[in-house]
Structure 1
Amino acid sequence: MAERLDALICQAVPGVSKAVRWNSPMYGMPGQGWFVSFHVFTGFVKLTFFKGTSLRPPPPGGSAQEARWINLVEGALDEEQVLAWVRQAAALPGWGKF
């Protein structure tokens, strides 16, 4: 699942920057900041969009001021929806700057 998410994010945003923070891969655009990250748990992967409340439709999880996430399980990955969210998120100002 993690390898597939990495591939989808790279497909949706050519030239995306990658880093690891808090044991999680993070993705961002230089000058714009980080827009998405995921973390692997036993049984699911949590895909977090830092400006998730701005996405349409917003991912279903979360109660933070702006972040929203979705818990993904093996065999239930809606790739088209993930691609749409990633493209939207990459176009927004992100979290932090680098």
Structure 2
Amino acid sequence: MAGKAPPKPPPKSRARPKSARPAAGSGGTGPKPVVLLSGGNPQIAKADGDAPVQAYIAAMPGWKRGVGERLDALIARTVPDVRKAVKWNSPLYGVEGRGWFLGIHTFTRYVKVAFFNGASLEPPPPGPSKDENTRYLDIRENDPIDEAAIADWIRQAAALPG
């Protein structure tokens, strides 16, 4: 036994760990899954246009997706020339030359609609803010959505400078 070399260990695999492999059939080029931040808020890269807003809405968890779809459709019907973007992990809606008038954010138990000049709306949305101009509308899972009232706020907000 003396003078005999110990056996060589098997060669190391060059395969990537399973967690780093692309999904089967994806070829590694498919879209990455959306990360949900605190409260289930989708992490969507900052970008202008409808596509990132639709990606945000599609990633909203559970019942909140339906609320996002209804709000987005209501905003588009009420303000046909609306500009859309995702900034700070929230969809924003605005009018060219006037700035942003509304934002949506997903929380654990509700969807928050922020009217950036909400204090100027009649009647103002019910939720107060630390910012004296901003007012909020929180929509919870089983809350009725008064589309007529929300459309009125949207129409008023879109007419104000952002």
| TM superposition score normalised by structure 2 | 0.56
State percent identity of aligned pairs: 55
1:18 alignment partner in structure 2: 84
2:132 alignment partner in structure 1: 65
Q: Cα distance, 1:70 vs. partner?
A: 0.9
1:32 alignment partner in structure 2: 98
Q: Find the aligned partners of 1:81 and 1:42 in 2 and give their Cα distance.
A: 24
Which of 1 and 2 has higher RCO (CA within 8 Å, sep 6+)? 1
Unaligned 5+ runs, structure 2: 1-66
2:74 alignment partner in structure 1: 8
Higher share in strand: 1
1:92 alignment partner in structure 2: 160
Paired residue total: 94
RMSD between aligned alpha carbons? 0.9
Unaligned 5+ runs, structure 1: none
Q: Where does structure 1 differ by over 6 angstroms across 4 or more consecutive aligned residues?
A: none
2:110 alignment partner in structure 1: 44
Q: Determine if contact 1:2/1:40 at 8 Å carries over to the other structure.
A: no
